[in-house]
Chain A
Protein backbone atom coordinates (compact mmCIF):
# COMPACT_ATOMS: atom_id res chain seq x y z
CA UNK A 1 0.00 0.00 0.00
CA UNK A 2 1.45 3.37 -0.98
CA UNK A 3 1.73 5.81 1.88
CA UNK A 4 -0.28 9.02 1.88
CA UNK A 5 2.49 11.45 2.86
CA UNK A 6 5.57 9.70 1.42
CA UNK A 7 8.58 12.06 1.13
CA UNK A 8 6.65 15.02 2.63
CA UNK A 9 8.14 17.26 5.29
CA UNK A 10 5.57 18.28 7.89
CA UNK A 11 5.49 20.61 10.87
CA UNK A 12 3.10 19.94 13.75
CA UNK A 13 2.67 22.34 16.66
CA UNK A 14 1.09 21.27 19.93
CA UNK A 15 2.69 17.88 19.30
CA UNK A 16 3.19 16.90 22.96
CA UNK A 17 -0.24 15.37 23.53
CA UNK A 18 -3.74 14.63 22.30
CA UNK A 19 -4.57 15.32 18.67
CA UNK A 20 -1.09 16.71 17.99
CA UNK A 21 0.65 13.56 19.22
CA UNK A 22 -1.72 11.22 17.38
CA UNK A 23 -1.35 13.22 14.16
CA UNK A 24 2.44 13.15 14.51
CA UNK A 25 2.46 9.36 14.85
CA UNK A 26 0.06 8.92 11.91
CA UNK A 27 2.07 11.32 9.71
CA UNK A 28 5.22 9.38 10.54
CA UNK A 29 3.52 6.10 9.62
CA UNK A 30 2.28 7.66 6.37
CA UNK A 31 5.84 8.53 5.39
CA UNK A 32 6.28 12.19 6.44
CA UNK A 33 9.45 13.57 8.06
CA UNK A 34 8.43 15.65 11.06
CA UNK A 35 9.34 18.81 12.88
CA UNK A 36 7.41 18.70 16.16
CA UNK A 37 6.90 21.69 18.42
CA UNK A 38 5.39 22.34 21.84
CA UNK A 39 6.02 24.29 25.05
CA UNK A 40 6.00 20.91 26.82
CA UNK A 41 9.50 19.62 25.95
CA UNK A 42 9.10 16.29 27.71
CA UNK A 43 5.83 15.50 25.93
CA UNK A 44 7.17 16.67 22.58
CA UNK A 45 10.30 14.53 22.89
CA UNK A 46 8.14 11.57 23.84
CA UNK A 47 6.05 12.10 20.68
CA UNK A 48 9.27 12.25 18.61
CA UNK A 49 10.38 9.01 20.26
CA UNK A 50 7.03 7.36 19.37
CA UNK A 51 7.43 8.48 15.75
CA UNK A 52 11.01 7.18 15.52
CA UNK A 53 10.06 3.91 17.23
CA UNK A 54 7.71 3.24 14.30
CA UNK A 55 10.43 3.89 11.76
CA UNK A 56 9.76 7.60 11.23
CA UNK A 57 12.01 10.64 11.46
CA UNK A 58 11.24 13.50 13.87
CA UNK A 59 12.84 16.60 15.29
CA UNK A 60 11.48 18.04 18.57
CA UNK A 61 11.70 21.81 19.02
CA UNK A 62 10.63 23.94 21.98
CA UNK A 63 8.28 26.64 20.74
CA UNK A 64 5.72 29.02 22.20
CA UNK A 65 3.65 29.81 19.09
CA UNK A 66 2.58 33.18 20.50
CA UNK A 67 6.23 34.36 20.27
CA UNK A 68 7.04 35.55 16.73
CA UNK A 69 10.79 34.97 17.06
CA UNK A 70 10.32 31.47 18.44
CA UNK A 71 8.07 30.64 15.48
CA UNK A 72 10.64 31.96 12.99
CA UNK A 73 13.31 29.85 14.65
CA UNK A 74 11.05 26.79 14.52
CA UNK A 75 10.37 27.06 10.79
CA UNK A 76 14.08 27.71 10.10
CA UNK A 77 15.04 24.66 12.14
CA UNK A 78 12.57 22.49 10.21
CA UNK A 79 13.79 23.71 6.82
CA UNK A 80 17.44 23.43 7.85
CA UNK A 81 16.97 19.84 8.97
CA UNK A 82 14.72 18.56 6.16
CA UNK A 83 15.35 21.00 3.28
CA UNK A 84 11.76 22.20 2.76
CA UNK A 85 8.29 22.36 4.29
CA UNK A 86 5.42 20.61 2.48
CA UNK A 87 2.75 20.49 5.20
CA UNK A 88 1.98 22.22 8.47
CA UNK A 89 -0.60 21.42 11.13
CA UNK A 90 -1.00 24.49 13.35
CA UNK A 91 -2.50 22.69 16.28
CA UNK A 92 -1.08 24.30 19.45
CA UNK A 93 -3.92 25.50 21.64
CA UNK A 94 -5.19 25.99 25.17
CA UNK A 95 -8.69 25.56 26.57
CA UNK A 96 -8.88 28.58 28.82
CA UNK A 97 -11.35 29.63 31.48
CA UNK A 98 -15.03 28.73 31.56
CA UNK A 99 -17.00 31.85 32.57
CA UNK A 100 -19.91 33.92 31.28
CA UNK A 101 -18.85 36.69 28.91
CA UNK A 102 -19.41 39.50 31.46
CA UNK A 103 -17.18 37.75 34.01
CA UNK A 104 -14.49 36.47 31.61
CA UNK A 105 -11.09 37.49 32.92
CA UNK A 106 -9.17 39.73 30.49
CA UNK A 107 -5.83 38.04 31.15
CA UNK A 108 -7.35 34.63 30.52
CA UNK A 109 -8.92 36.00 27.30
CA UNK A 110 -5.59 37.43 26.15
CA UNK A 111 -3.78 34.15 26.77
CA UNK A 112 -6.29 32.04 24.83
CA UNK A 113 -6.28 34.49 21.90
CA UNK A 114 -2.47 34.71 21.96
CA UNK A 115 -1.98 30.95 21.62
CA UNK A 116 -5.06 29.82 19.69
CA UNK A 117 -5.42 32.69 17.20
CA UNK A 118 -2.23 34.79 17.15
CA UNK A 119 -0.23 31.55 17.33
CA UNK A 120 -1.92 30.27 14.16
CA UNK A 121 -1.41 33.65 12.47
CA UNK A 122 2.31 33.76 13.30
CA UNK A 123 2.83 30.13 12.33
CA UNK A 124 1.10 30.69 9.00
CA UNK A 125 3.18 33.80 8.27
CA UNK A 126 6.45 31.91 8.58
CA UNK A 127 5.11 28.79 6.83
CA UNK A 128 3.60 30.76 3.94
CA UNK A 129 6.87 32.58 3.27
CA UNK A 130 8.64 29.23 2.98
CA UNK A 131 5.86 27.56 0.96
CA UNK A 132 5.54 30.48 -1.47
CA UNK A 133 9.29 30.26 -2.12
CA UNK A 134 8.77 26.56 -2.95
CA UNK A 135 5.63 27.20 -5.01
CA UNK A 136 3.66 24.54 -3.10
CA UNK A 137 2.40 23.55 0.32
CA UNK A 138 -0.59 22.51 2.41
CA UNK A 139 -1.55 24.03 5.76
CA UNK A 140 -4.18 22.73 8.17
CA UNK A 141 -5.19 24.93 11.09
CA UNK A 142 -6.79 23.53 14.21
CA UNK A 143 -10.17 25.18 14.53
CA UNK A 144 -13.01 23.43 16.35
CA UNK A 145 -16.71 22.68 16.13
CA UNK A 146 -16.92 25.85 18.26
CA UNK A 147 -15.41 27.69 15.31
CA UNK A 148 -18.73 26.96 13.57
CA UNK A 149 -21.20 27.00 16.47
CA UNK A 150 -20.71 28.15 20.09
CA UNK A 151 -20.72 26.44 23.46
CA UNK A 152 -21.67 28.61 26.43
CA UNK A 153 -18.99 29.98 28.79
CA UNK A 154 -16.14 29.47 26.34
CA UNK A 155 -15.99 33.06 25.07
CA UNK A 156 -12.26 33.18 24.34
CA UNK A 157 -12.03 29.66 22.91
CA UNK A 158 -15.12 30.12 20.71
CA UNK A 159 -13.91 33.51 19.45
CA UNK A 160 -10.38 32.25 18.77
CA UNK A 161 -11.65 29.21 16.84
CA UNK A 162 -14.11 31.29 14.80
CA UNK A 163 -11.12 33.54 14.11
CA UNK A 164 -9.02 30.60 12.93
CA UNK A 165 -11.63 29.79 10.29
CA UNK A 166 -11.65 33.41 9.12
CA UNK A 167 -7.85 33.39 8.86
CA UNK A 168 -7.93 30.06 7.05
CA UNK A 169 -10.33 31.36 4.40
CA UNK A 170 -8.31 34.56 3.97
CA UNK A 171 -5.04 32.72 3.45
CA UNK A 172 -6.75 30.16 1.18
CA UNK A 173 -7.85 32.89 -1.21
CA UNK A 174 -4.59 34.85 -1.03
CA UNK A 175 -2.24 31.91 -1.58
CA UNK A 176 -4.17 29.62 -3.96
CA UNK A 177 -2.27 31.23 -6.84
CA UNK A 178 1.01 30.26 -5.16
CA UNK A 179 0.10 26.58 -5.01
CA UNK A 180 -0.56 26.63 -1.27
CA UNK A 181 -3.77 25.12 0.09
CA UNK A 182 -5.02 26.25 3.51
CA UNK A 183 -7.75 24.36 5.35
CA UNK A 184 -8.99 23.91 8.91
CA UNK A 185 -10.04 20.88 10.88
CA UNK A 186 -12.91 21.31 13.34
CA UNK A 187 -12.92 18.60 15.98
CA UNK A 188 -15.92 18.14 18.25
CA UNK A 189 -15.53 16.55 21.67
CA UNK A 190 -12.44 14.35 21.43
CA UNK A 191 -10.77 12.14 24.06
CA UNK A 192 -7.77 14.39 24.63
CA UNK A 193 -6.10 15.56 27.85
CA UNK A 194 -7.81 18.95 27.29
CA UNK A 195 -11.24 17.33 27.53
CA UNK A 196 -10.48 14.32 29.73
CA UNK A 197 -8.52 16.18 32.41
CA UNK A 198 -9.35 19.85 31.82
CA UNK A 199 -12.05 22.08 33.23
CA UNK A 200 -13.80 21.78 36.57
CA UNK A 201 -15.34 18.38 35.84
CA UNK A 202 -12.96 16.17 33.88
CA UNK A 203 -14.46 13.77 31.36
CA UNK A 204 -12.59 10.90 33.00
CA UNK A 205 -15.51 10.84 35.48
CA UNK A 206 -18.03 8.39 33.94
CA UNK A 207 -21.10 10.63 34.47
CA UNK A 208 -19.28 13.56 32.87
CA UNK A 209 -18.17 11.38 29.97
CA UNK A 210 -21.77 10.26 29.41
CA UNK A 211 -22.99 13.86 29.51
CA UNK A 212 -20.40 14.98 26.95
CA UNK A 213 -20.95 11.91 24.76
CA UNK A 214 -24.67 12.74 24.80
CA UNK A 215 -23.97 16.02 23.01
CA UNK A 216 -23.01 14.12 19.85
CA UNK A 217 -25.52 12.20 17.72
CA UNK A 218 -22.97 9.34 17.72
CA UNK A 219 -23.21 9.24 21.53
CA UNK A 220 -19.49 8.96 22.07
CA UNK A 221 -16.43 11.18 22.15
CA UNK A 222 -14.17 11.09 19.12
CA UNK A 223 -10.70 9.58 19.25
CA UNK A 224 -7.63 11.71 18.42
CA UNK A 225 -6.79 9.32 15.54
CA UNK A 226 -10.13 10.17 13.89
CA UNK A 227 -9.09 13.83 13.74
CA UNK A 228 -5.54 12.91 12.72
CA UNK A 229 -6.87 11.04 9.67
CA UNK A 230 -8.81 14.13 8.55
CA UNK A 231 -5.66 16.26 8.89
CA UNK A 232 -3.64 13.72 6.91
CA UNK A 233 -6.28 13.64 4.18
CA UNK A 234 -6.35 17.45 3.92
CA UNK A 235 -2.53 17.53 3.69
CA UNK A 236 -2.42 14.81 1.05
CA UNK A 237 -2.64 15.04 -2.72
CA UNK A 238 -6.09 13.40 -2.49
CA UNK A 239 -7.35 16.84 -1.39
CA UNK A 240 -5.67 18.73 -4.24
CA UNK A 241 -8.76 20.89 -5.01
CA UNK A 242 -9.73 21.48 -1.35
CA UNK A 243 -8.82 24.87 0.06
CA UNK A 244 -10.50 27.22 2.54
CA UNK A 245 -12.62 24.37 3.94
CA UNK A 246 -13.32 23.88 7.64
CA UNK A 247 -13.59 20.06 7.81
CA UNK A 248 -15.83 19.16 10.75
CA UNK A 249 -15.03 15.91 12.62
CA UNK A 250 -17.57 15.93 15.43
CA UNK A 251 -19.86 12.88 15.38
CA UNK A 252 -22.67 15.06 14.01
CA UNK A 253 -22.69 17.82 16.65
CA UNK A 254 -22.75 20.77 14.23
CA UNK A 255 -25.47 19.23 12.03
CA UNK A 256 -28.21 19.96 14.55
CA UNK A 257 -29.41 20.01 18.15
CA UNK A 258 -29.60 16.74 20.06
CA UNK A 259 -32.10 16.80 22.90
CA UNK A 260 -31.70 14.86 26.12
CA UNK A 261 -34.74 12.63 25.56
CA UNK A 262 -33.36 11.50 22.18
Chain B
Protein backbone atom coordinates (compact mmCIF):
# COMPACT_ATOMS: atom_id res chain seq x y z
CA UNK B 1 0.00 0.00 0.00
CA UNK B 2 2.76 2.44 0.88
CA UNK B 3 5.72 0.59 -0.57
CA UNK B 4 6.78 1.88 -3.95
CA UNK B 5 5.67 -1.08 -6.08
CA UNK B 6 2.19 -0.69 -7.47
CA UNK B 7 1.12 2.33 -5.47
CA UNK B 8 0.64 4.45 -8.60
CA UNK B 9 -0.72 1.68 -10.85
CA UNK B 10 -2.64 3.16 -13.77
CA UNK B 11 -1.74 6.79 -12.96
CA UNK B 12 -0.96 9.13 -15.84
CA UNK B 13 1.67 11.72 -14.97
CA UNK B 14 3.48 14.69 -16.44
CA UNK B 15 6.75 15.93 -14.93
CA UNK B 16 8.29 19.25 -15.94
CA UNK B 17 12.02 19.74 -15.56
CA UNK B 18 12.18 16.02 -16.28
CA UNK B 19 15.51 15.90 -18.12
CA UNK B 20 17.67 15.45 -15.03
CA UNK B 21 17.98 15.78 -11.27
CA UNK B 22 14.89 15.61 -9.10
CA UNK B 23 12.49 15.63 -12.06
CA UNK B 24 14.15 12.67 -13.77
CA UNK B 25 14.37 10.76 -10.46
CA UNK B 26 10.69 11.44 -9.71
CA UNK B 27 9.66 10.30 -13.20
CA UNK B 28 11.58 7.05 -12.67
CA UNK B 29 10.04 6.48 -9.23
CA UNK B 30 6.55 7.20 -10.64
CA UNK B 31 7.20 4.58 -13.34
CA UNK B 32 8.52 2.08 -10.79
CA UNK B 33 5.32 2.64 -8.80
CA UNK B 34 3.23 1.79 -11.87
CA UNK B 35 2.54 5.15 -13.54
CA UNK B 36 2.95 6.17 -17.17
CA UNK B 37 4.86 9.40 -17.55
CA UNK B 38 5.41 12.26 -19.96
CA UNK B 39 8.64 14.09 -19.21
CA UNK B 40 8.85 17.70 -20.33
CA UNK B 41 11.89 19.93 -20.33
CA UNK B 42 13.27 22.84 -22.33
CA UNK B 43 16.37 20.66 -22.92
CA UNK B 44 15.07 18.50 -25.76
CA UNK B 45 18.09 16.18 -25.97
CA UNK B 46 18.24 15.72 -22.22
CA UNK B 47 14.55 14.93 -21.85
CA UNK B 48 14.61 12.55 -24.82
CA UNK B 49 17.51 10.68 -23.26
CA UNK B 50 15.75 10.51 -19.86
CA UNK B 51 12.58 9.10 -21.43
CA UNK B 52 14.58 6.67 -23.58
CA UNK B 53 16.34 5.37 -20.45
CA UNK B 54 12.96 4.74 -18.82
CA UNK B 55 11.64 2.96 -21.91
CA UNK B 56 14.79 0.84 -22.00
CA UNK B 57 13.96 -0.22 -18.43
CA UNK B 58 10.56 -1.36 -19.66
CA UNK B 59 8.49 1.63 -18.57
CA UNK B 60 6.00 3.73 -20.49
CA UNK B 61 7.60 7.14 -20.86
CA UNK B 62 7.46 9.90 -23.45
CA UNK B 63 9.50 13.07 -23.89
CA UNK B 64 8.33 16.51 -24.95
CA UNK B 65 10.27 19.74 -25.29
CA UNK B 66 8.60 22.48 -23.25
CA UNK B 67 9.57 25.85 -21.87
CA UNK B 68 7.29 26.48 -18.88
CA UNK B 69 7.45 30.24 -19.45
CA UNK B 70 5.75 29.89 -22.84
CA UNK B 71 2.07 29.51 -21.99
CA UNK B 72 0.85 28.49 -25.43
CA UNK B 73 3.56 25.88 -25.93
CA UNK B 74 3.23 24.54 -22.39
CA UNK B 75 -0.56 24.25 -22.76
CA UNK B 76 -0.09 22.29 -26.00
CA UNK B 77 2.40 19.91 -24.37
CA UNK B 78 0.08 19.27 -21.42
CA UNK B 79 -2.87 18.60 -23.76
CA UNK B 80 -0.67 16.34 -25.84
CA UNK B 81 0.45 14.47 -22.72
CA UNK B 82 -3.17 13.90 -21.72
CA UNK B 83 -3.90 12.61 -25.22
CA UNK B 84 -0.87 10.29 -25.24
CA UNK B 85 -1.71 8.79 -21.84
CA UNK B 86 -5.51 8.85 -22.16
CA UNK B 87 -5.83 11.49 -19.45
CA UNK B 88 -3.87 12.97 -16.57
CA UNK B 89 -4.15 12.45 -12.82
CA UNK B 90 -0.72 13.38 -11.57
CA UNK B 91 1.22 16.57 -12.26
CA UNK B 92 4.68 17.45 -11.01
CA UNK B 93 5.63 21.08 -11.74
CA UNK B 94 9.31 20.76 -11.05
CA UNK B 95 11.07 22.97 -13.63
CA UNK B 96 13.10 25.59 -11.81
CA UNK B 97 16.12 27.87 -12.00
CA UNK B 98 18.55 29.07 -9.37
CA UNK B 99 19.62 32.69 -8.95
CA UNK B 100 22.33 33.74 -6.51
CA UNK B 101 23.27 37.41 -6.36
CA UNK B 102 23.34 40.21 -3.78
CA UNK B 103 20.54 42.77 -4.14
CA UNK B 104 22.75 45.48 -5.63
CA UNK B 105 23.88 43.16 -8.41
CA UNK B 106 20.54 41.45 -8.98
CA UNK B 107 19.12 42.67 -12.27
CA UNK B 108 15.43 43.02 -13.01
CA UNK B 109 15.92 40.56 -15.86
CA UNK B 110 17.35 37.94 -13.48
CA UNK B 111 14.63 38.49 -10.91
CA UNK B 112 11.94 38.33 -13.58
CA UNK B 113 13.35 35.16 -15.15
CA UNK B 114 13.47 33.47 -11.74
CA UNK B 115 9.85 34.37 -11.09
CA UNK B 116 8.77 33.42 -14.63
CA UNK B 117 10.21 29.90 -14.43
CA UNK B 118 9.67 29.04 -10.77
CA UNK B 119 6.37 30.77 -10.03
CA UNK B 120 4.63 31.49 -13.33
CA UNK B 121 5.79 28.10 -14.64
CA UNK B 122 4.18 26.30 -11.69
CA UNK B 123 1.02 28.39 -12.00
CA UNK B 124 0.73 27.73 -15.75
CA UNK B 125 1.44 24.01 -15.41
CA UNK B 126 -1.29 23.67 -12.77
CA UNK B 127 -3.70 25.88 -14.69
CA UNK B 128 -3.42 23.96 -17.94
CA UNK B 129 -3.51 20.56 -16.22
CA UNK B 130 -6.58 21.42 -14.12
CA UNK B 131 -9.20 20.52 -16.76
CA UNK B 132 -7.58 17.14 -17.34
CA UNK B 133 -7.51 16.34 -13.61
CA UNK B 134 -11.14 17.37 -13.26
CA UNK B 135 -12.02 15.15 -16.23
CA UNK B 136 -10.22 12.28 -14.47
CA UNK B 137 -12.36 12.88 -11.37
CA UNK B 138 -9.48 14.21 -9.28
CA UNK B 139 -5.78 13.77 -8.79
CA UNK B 140 -2.71 15.43 -7.39
CA UNK B 141 -0.97 18.67 -8.31
CA UNK B 142 2.57 18.50 -6.95
CA UNK B 143 5.46 20.90 -7.23
CA UNK B 144 8.99 21.49 -6.08
CA UNK B 145 9.64 24.30 -3.65
CA UNK B 146 12.78 24.36 -1.48
CA UNK B 147 14.07 24.86 2.04
CA UNK B 148 14.57 28.35 0.58
CA UNK B 149 10.76 28.47 0.24
CA UNK B 150 10.45 28.24 4.02
CA UNK B 151 13.36 30.36 5.25
CA UNK B 152 15.55 33.14 3.88
CA UNK B 153 19.07 32.64 2.54
CA UNK B 154 21.40 35.56 1.87
CA UNK B 155 22.12 36.51 -1.74
CA UNK B 156 19.17 34.31 -2.71
CA UNK B 157 16.35 36.86 -2.50
CA UNK B 158 15.01 36.15 -5.98
CA UNK B 159 15.12 32.38 -5.53
CA UNK B 160 13.61 32.58 -2.02
CA UNK B 161 10.85 34.93 -3.15
CA UNK B 162 9.98 32.54 -5.97
CA UNK B 163 9.98 29.44 -3.76
CA UNK B 164 7.97 31.17 -0.99
CA UNK B 165 5.46 32.10 -3.71
CA UNK B 166 5.14 28.45 -4.71
CA UNK B 167 4.12 27.58 -1.12
CA UNK B 168 1.43 30.29 -1.33
CA UNK B 169 0.11 28.71 -4.53
CA UNK B 170 0.00 25.30 -2.86
CA UNK B 171 -1.81 26.45 0.29
CA UNK B 172 -4.42 28.46 -1.63
CA UNK B 173 -5.07 25.85 -4.29
CA UNK B 174 -5.38 23.08 -1.69
CA UNK B 175 -8.42 24.93 -0.30
CA UNK B 176 -9.81 25.83 -3.69
CA UNK B 177 -9.54 22.42 -5.35
CA UNK B 178 -10.35 20.03 -2.48
CA UNK B 179 -13.98 19.81 -3.58
CA UNK B 180 -12.78 18.61 -7.02
CA UNK B 181 -10.91 15.73 -5.40
CA UNK B 182 -7.60 17.39 -6.23
CA UNK B 183 -4.83 17.46 -3.63
CA UNK B 184 -2.11 20.10 -3.92
CA UNK B 185 1.27 19.61 -2.23
CA UNK B 186 4.89 20.62 -2.50
CA UNK B 187 8.14 18.96 -1.57
CA UNK B 188 10.74 21.31 -0.07
CA UNK B 189 14.14 19.74 -0.65
CA UNK B 190 17.25 20.93 1.05
CA UNK B 191 20.58 20.62 -0.71
CA UNK B 192 20.28 17.75 -3.18
CA UNK B 193 22.93 16.14 -5.40
CA UNK B 194 21.85 17.70 -8.70
CA UNK B 195 23.20 19.93 -11.43
CA UNK B 196 21.55 22.86 -9.59
CA UNK B 197 23.62 22.07 -6.50
CA UNK B 198 26.81 22.13 -8.55
CA UNK B 199 25.66 25.54 -9.84
CA UNK B 200 25.03 26.69 -6.24
CA UNK B 201 28.53 25.60 -5.23
CA UNK B 202 30.02 27.56 -8.17
CA UNK B 203 28.02 30.67 -7.28
CA UNK B 204 28.88 30.43 -3.59
CA UNK B 205 32.55 29.89 -4.39
CA UNK B 206 32.42 33.07 -6.47
CA UNK B 207 30.66 35.15 -3.77
CA UNK B 208 32.64 33.75 -0.85
CA UNK B 209 35.94 33.82 -2.76
CA UNK B 210 36.59 30.19 -1.88
CA UNK B 211 37.54 27.21 -3.98
CA UNK B 212 34.61 24.95 -4.77
CA UNK B 213 35.62 22.27 -2.28
CA UNK B 214 35.63 24.81 0.57
CA UNK B 215 32.35 26.34 -0.60
CA UNK B 216 30.75 22.89 -0.70
CA UNK B 217 31.98 22.05 2.80
CA UNK B 218 30.55 25.33 4.10
CA UNK B 219 27.18 24.67 2.43
CA UNK B 220 26.95 21.18 3.91
CA UNK B 221 28.23 21.88 7.43
CA UNK B 222 24.80 23.03 8.67
CA UNK B 223 22.95 19.89 7.50
CA UNK B 224 22.37 17.80 10.66
CA UNK B 225 22.43 14.54 8.67
CA UNK B 226 25.79 15.70 7.31
CA UNK B 227 25.24 15.14 3.60
CA UNK B 228 23.08 16.34 0.71
CA UNK B 229 19.92 14.44 -0.26
CA UNK B 230 19.98 12.15 -3.25
CA UNK B 231 17.45 12.97 -6.00
CA UNK B 232 15.87 9.56 -5.25
CA UNK B 233 15.19 10.54 -1.62
CA UNK B 234 13.32 13.62 -2.83
CA UNK B 235 11.54 11.50 -5.45
CA UNK B 236 10.36 9.09 -2.71
CA UNK B 237 8.55 12.00 -1.04
CA UNK B 238 6.75 12.77 -4.31
CA UNK B 239 5.67 9.11 -4.59
CA UNK B 240 4.23 9.24 -1.07
CA UNK B 241 2.37 12.49 -1.78
CA UNK B 242 1.09 11.17 -5.13
CA UNK B 243 -0.08 7.86 -3.67
CA UNK B 244 -3.41 6.91 -2.05
CA UNK B 245 -1.45 6.68 1.24
CA UNK B 246 -1.56 10.50 1.30
CA UNK B 247 -5.30 10.75 0.59
CA UNK B 248 -5.89 13.15 3.55
CA UNK B 249 -2.73 15.21 2.91
CA UNK B 250 -3.13 18.51 1.08
CA UNK B 251 -1.75 22.03 1.29
CA UNK B 252 1.60 21.03 2.76
CA UNK B 253 5.25 21.50 1.91
CA UNK B 254 6.96 18.23 2.85
CA UNK B 255 10.48 19.15 3.91
CA UNK B 256 13.32 16.77 2.90
CA UNK B 257 16.31 18.61 4.33
CA UNK B 258 18.22 16.29 6.67
CA UNK B 259 17.10 18.48 9.59
CA UNK B 260 18.44 21.80 8.23
CA UNK B 261 15.28 23.82 8.94
CA UNK B 262 14.84 22.47 12.48
CA UNK B 263 17.71 24.55 13.78
A interface list, Cβ under 8 A from B: 1-4, 26, 30, 168-170, 172-173, 176-177, 188, 216-219, 222-223, 226-227, 229-230, 232-233, 236, 238-245, 247-252, 254-256, 258
* Contact B262 A258, beta carbon cutoff 8 Å: no
Question: Which A residues lie within 8 Å of B258 (CB)?
Answer: 176, 241, 243
- B contact residues around A223 at 8 Å (CB): 248
Kindly state the separation between the CA atoms of A169 and B240 in the bound complex, as whole angstroms: 22
- Residues of B near any A CB (own CB < 8 A): 1-6, 170-172, 174-175, 178-179, 190, 224-226, 229-230, 233-234, 236-237, 239-240, 245-252, 254-259, 261-263
Q: Is the CB of A218 within 8 A of B178?
A: yes
Query: B244 — nearest CB in chain A belongs to which residue?
Result: A229
Is B259 in contact with A229, judged by CB distance below 8 angstroms?
no
Listed A/B pairs (22) with beta-carbon separation below 8 Å = A1-B5, A2-B5, A168-B262, A177-B224, A217-B175, A218-B250, A223-B248, A229-B245, A239-B237, A239-B240, A240-B236, A241-B229, A241-B257, A242-B254, A242-B256, A244-B261, A244-B263, A245-B254, A251-B250, A252-B251, A255-B172, A256-B172
Do the beta carbons of B250 and A252 come within 8 Å of each other?
yes
- Does A250 lie within 8 Å of B226, measured CB to CB? no
Residues of chain A within 8 A (CB-CB) of B248 are: 188, 218, 222-223, 226-227, 249-251
Q: Are A219 and B250 in contact (CB under 8 A)?
A: no
Which of the listed residues B171, B257, B258 has the most CB atoms from chain A within 10 Å of its own CB?
Answer: B258
**Do A176 and B178 have beta carbons less than 8 Å apart?**
no
- Complex interface: chain A residues within 8 A of B255 (CB): 242, 244-245
- A229's contact among B2, B175, B263, by CB below 8 Å, is which? B2
**For the complex, what is the distance from the CA of A30 to the CA of B190, rounded to whole Å?**
29
